[in-house]
Amino acid sequence: MSAVGPGGAEGIDLSLDADQQAVAELFDGFFANECPVSVVRGAEPLGFDRALWDALGALGAPGMGSPEDQGGGGASLADLLVVAEAVGRAIAPVPLVDHLVATRLFPDEELISGELVGGVALQPAAADGTWRLVPTGAVADVVVGVDGDQVVAVRSEAPGSGPRNHADQPLADRSARAGERTVLGPATRFDEALDEWRTLTAAALVGIAERSLQMGVAYATERHQFGVPIGSFQAVQHLLADLPGLIDGARLLAHRAAWAATLPVDQRVVDVDDNEFTDPTVLASMAFLFAGEAAAAATDRSLHVHGGYGYAEEYDIQLYFRRARGWRLVAGPPAAERARLADLLLGPASTPSPAPAGAAR
Amino acid sequence: MNFSLTPEAQAYRATVRRIIAEAVTPEAIDRMHSTGTFDVPELTQALAREGLLERAVPGRGGGDPIELWLLFSELEKAGAPYDGISVALMVAGVINAVGTEEQKERIIPTITSGQALVCMGYSEPDSGSDVAAATTRAVRDGDEWVIDGAKMWTTMAHEATWLILLTRTNTEVAKHRGLTMFILPMDTPGITVAPVHTMGTERTNATWYDGVRVGDDAVLGDVDGGWRTMTVALAFERGVMGGTNAGVPLLRHFRAWADEVGLLDDPTVRDHIARTAIDNQVAALLTMRAAWIAATGGLPGLEGSMVKVFATEAYQRAARAFQEAAGPEGLLQFHEPGAAADGFVDYDARHSPVTTIYGGTSEINRNNIAERHLGLPKARS
Ligand SMILES: Cc1cc2nc3c(=O)[nH]c(=O)nc-3n(C[C@H](O)[C@H](O)[C@H](O)COP(=O)(O)OP(=O)(O)OC[C@H]3O[C@@H](n4cnc5c(N)ncnc54)[C@H](O)[C@@H]3O)c2cc1C
């Protein structure tokens, strides 16, 4: 979105614009109909539902984020955030976030139409050309990622299965070398794609957190103990009352990251001392980290409020709990991401393995 | 979403920054910490001279919530005192909303000209969170009211010209219905002020009221309508007028010091800095949202509760992490040789505990969010 808000009015506007509201309603409605939680469960353990993917294709979702002159929907990153949040709310077993990011970098016709599924390798290929644990590796027809000093798109047959994992995600190793390989440019071209992945995944995690909070509130209202709803116990109330601030904060950060990506490069500010950040890379990292914390907290607490039932497979909160971790940790340890953020904020550390705190003086 | 300030708002912010840079000298900050009086008269007067106080009064000189937010976040980020200014502006806003014409003319200009500070007498020795349980009595006597009782935590009472005082005028009705608010001069006979010193350098006061006589012109709002006046006041206060950016000067002071002493390469320190920077940005965005809601005609009470709970607890986490990272130097106070961040690490570790207490404790704010935002059943209490 430009620096001029919806309707041409300038100044702060933290609402979704009319189009985005319509998109949110469309996707929430779509997932409510096409992706009840039985679909999520039915797609386990692979974590991919082909029929749901095809239905999304019919909506034009796979190409939404690609330029219109290439047959895409021309949606902005901010618009896609709204879609990613809906995916998170429904924990839909479709790799839409990864596909959108791959397709924006590699606007292949069959990816835009959704005939092919796209994915991104979040870590560079190892020396032998293996992309380890690609989040969509079991199902993606095309994987985009870094190999050496280049970013490449590799089309090859998806294995269709992968290691069983915490979140029932279609994780699998893929090769950056075997298959039909297109060189997209120098490796640095992938940086922006990773920023987009972090920003969109932040939104998906916001969706997970929001729905988990709703489930906790609903359960606390229905469930009675000692003759009263458990939601009238202050200890229960306060577990849940922290969450709206975390969720709203994460959503605002993700949208700020998307907004910052539209600013001219010479207006990008990183000022820790003044708490002023308009750099999309910094904000994407912050949004991803903070949304990850919010989703972890929301699922922890909501599950806890469900008591023993929260631990039972039959209850849905466990599905959210596991995805809140899986969708985040595919990118690596949060501490490593915070170290990267610190480098962006402070410049790189001058000594690689410094003495422990205090010893320097 | 659009996060850009209008050119007017940017110009306003630049003015505020210039005034702060001129008036809030290191000496002024030092004086504030050594006296415990968190007010810099040069700053209040400079803001008044440029018309910014008048302009900031809610419902009066524009009272643009975006400007209010910018004013207070700039003050906070600079480590400048803002409590005196925020209470004064809040009270001016309340007078403007519920006061008589005579009160508006008599009182508001003394505030917006930067001459008069206001102190706030809500809390009592036996009622804090349950503020509506106030027992300070105001009794009718002919044309006058006679006030007797005691207040606690009457911050700025030793400097203020005016006092806004919550009293009980009716003991026969439910506690919220028998309250009346007064606004009176602090030099009215019968008021006693004694200092209460705190762990975090800030001075506050205990105040006593012994046969204090005022006329009807001191009643602010309706007799027995004090709760409504309180509600108006709280709506201004929460979220926008300070208390949500304290992590910013803390991080700035700590980072500069860590750089100086070679701690900035320590991975644990870098991790804390990254976390604090994220929390600071989230606090700023949630504050911005409260301001935006107010600017678009809403009442950001619940959003204010959310940002207050989040920002104050994040500030406490950061203050603790940085003090631990600093080691013994983090114990040293202002002016002691070698003190971490010139003593700010010690100061923030001392000051941060109060931020989850005053202005509505975290628990009171969580109660609000649970019942009014999440719609959970009312707690049994
Ligand atoms: C430095 C300082 C300056 C202040 N300045 C002013 C001022 O200028 N004017 C003024 O009027 N007041 C002022 N206050 C008072 C402040 O508003 C109160 O301290 C605050 O509202 C809490 O009240 P209390 O201290 O009586 O604590 P209590 O209300 O006694 O609370 C004690 C503990 O019990 C918890 N608790 C209370 N009720 C509940 C509940 N329903 N559910 C769950 N937990 C609960 C609280 O969260 C808290 O942890 C100031 C306080 C301080 C420390």
- Which tens digits make up the pLDDT trace of B37-56? 888 889 999 999 999 998 88
In a domain, A41, yes or no: no
Interval B6-28 mean pLDDT: 94
Q: Would you state the pLDDT for residue A356? A: 44
Whether A273 has its CB under 8 Å from any CB of chain B: the answer is yes
Interval A139-156 mean pLDDT: 98
Compute the distance from residue B193 Cα to the ligand 1 centre, in Å: 20
Verify whether the Cβ–Cβ distance A221 to B375 is below 8 Å.
yes
CA-based nearest distance B152→chain A, Å: 27
Distance CA A296, CA B375 (A): 23
Q: Would you state the pLDDT for residue B319? A: 98
Chain A CA closest to residue B308: A245
Ligand 1 atom with least separation from CA of B198: 1
- Which tens digits make up the pLDDT trace of A180-204? 999 999 999 999 999 999 999 999 9
Under 8 Å between Cβ of B312 and B364 = no
Distance CA A211, CA A205 (A): 10
Q: In sequence order, what are the residues at sequence separation of 6 or more whose Cβ sits closer than 8 angstroms to the Cβ of residue B221?
A: B98, B99, B180, B181, B228, B229
Q: Which of B180, B190, B191 has the alpha carbon at shortest distance from B219?
A: B180
Residue B69 amino acid letter: W
- Which tens digits make up the pLDDT trace of B26-42? 899 989 888 888 888 89
Ligand 1 atom with least separation from CA of B200: 1
- Confidence band, pLDDT 50/70/90 cuts, at residue B299: confident
Q: Would you state the pLDDT for residue A206? A: 99
Interval B84-96 mean pLDDT: 90
In a domain, A196, yes or no: yes
- Confidence band, pLDDT 50/70/90 cuts, at residue B241: confident
In a domain, A280, yes or no: yes
Distance CA B232, CA A305 (A): 35
Domain count within chain A: 1
Q: Given the structure tokens 């791959």, which residue do they identify?
A: A102
In a domain, A2, yes or no: no
- Which tens digits make up the pLDDT trace of B124-165? 999 999 999 999 999 999 999 999 999 999 999 999 999 999
* Residues on chain A touching B371 (C-beta within 8 angstroms): 237
Which domains does chain B show, CATH number per domain? 7-117 (1.10.540.10), 120-226 (2.40.110.10), 243-372 (1.20.140.10)
> Is the pLDDT reported for residue A360 higher than 70?
no
In a domain, A337, yes or no: yes
Report residue B64 as tokens.
């643009």
Question: Which residue's alpha carbon is nearest to atom 32 within ligand 1?
Answer: B129
Nearest to B271 among A13, A231, A339 (CB): A339
Question: Which residue's alpha carbon is nearest to atom 41 within ligand 1?
Answer: B364
- The DSSP result for A87-139, as a single string, is HHHHT-SS-HHHHHHHHHHS--HHHHHTSS-EEE-SS---TTSEEEEETTTTT
Report residue A118 as tokens.
């796209």
Range(s) of the domain holding residue A301? 191-346
Q: Would you state the pLDDT for residue A351? A: 62
Q: Would you state the pLDDT for residue B61? A: 65
Chain A CA closest to residue B74: A274
Chain B CA closest to residue A21: B1
Q: Which of A82, A348, A18, A40 has the alpha carbon at shortest distance from A210?
A: A82
- Confidence band, pLDDT 50/70/90 cuts, at residue B60: confident
Q: Would you state the pLDDT for residue B237? A: 62
* Residues on chain B touching A14 (C-beta within 8 angstroms): 1-3, 288-289, 292
End-to-end Cα separation, chain A, in angstroms: 48
- C-alpha angle B55/B29/B40, rounded to 5°? 35
Interval B205-210 mean pLDDT: 98
Percentage, residues of chain B above pLDDT 70: 98
> Is the four-CA dihedral B211, B214, B216, B220 of positive or negative sign?
negative
In a domain, A61, yes or no: no
Q: A41-45, B81-85, B335-339: which has the minimum mean pLDDT?
A: B81-85
Q: Would you state the pLDDT for residue B36? A: 86
Q: In sequence order, what are the residues at sequence separation of 6 or more whose Cβ sits closer than 8 angstroms to the Cβ of residue B327?
A: A357, A358
Under 8 Å between Cβ of B272 and B322 = yes
End-to-end Cα separation, chain B, in angstroms: 41
Q: Would you state the pLDDT for residue A1? A: 33
Higher-confidence position of A10 and A230: A230
- Which tens digits make up the pLDDT trace of A308-352? 999 999 999 999 999 999 999 999 999 999 999 999 999 998 865
Interval B344-352 mean pLDDT: 97
> Is the pLDDT reported for residue A5 higher than 50?
no
Q: Would you state the pLDDT for residue B233? A: 77
- Confidence band, pLDDT 50/70/90 cuts, at residue A7: very low
- Confidence band, pLDDT 50/70/90 cuts, at residue A6: very low
- Which tens digits make up the pLDDT trace of A240-260? 999 999 999 999 999 999 999
- Which tens digits make up the pLDDT trace of A28-54? 999 999 999 999 999 999 999 999 999
> Is the pLDDT reported for residue A82 higher than 90?
yes
> Is the pLDDT reported for residue A359 higher than 80?
no
Phi/psi for B151 (5° steps) reads: -120, 155
- From B120, B361, B376, the mutation candidate for ligand 1 (largest count of ligand atoms within 8 A of CB) is B361
Verify whether the Cβ–Cβ distance A11 to B264 is below 8 Å.
no
Radius of gyration from C-alpha coordinates of chain B = 21
The domain that holds A313 is classified in CATH as 1.20.140.10
Best of B244, B263, B281 to substitute, by most chain A Cβ atoms within 10 angstroms, is B281
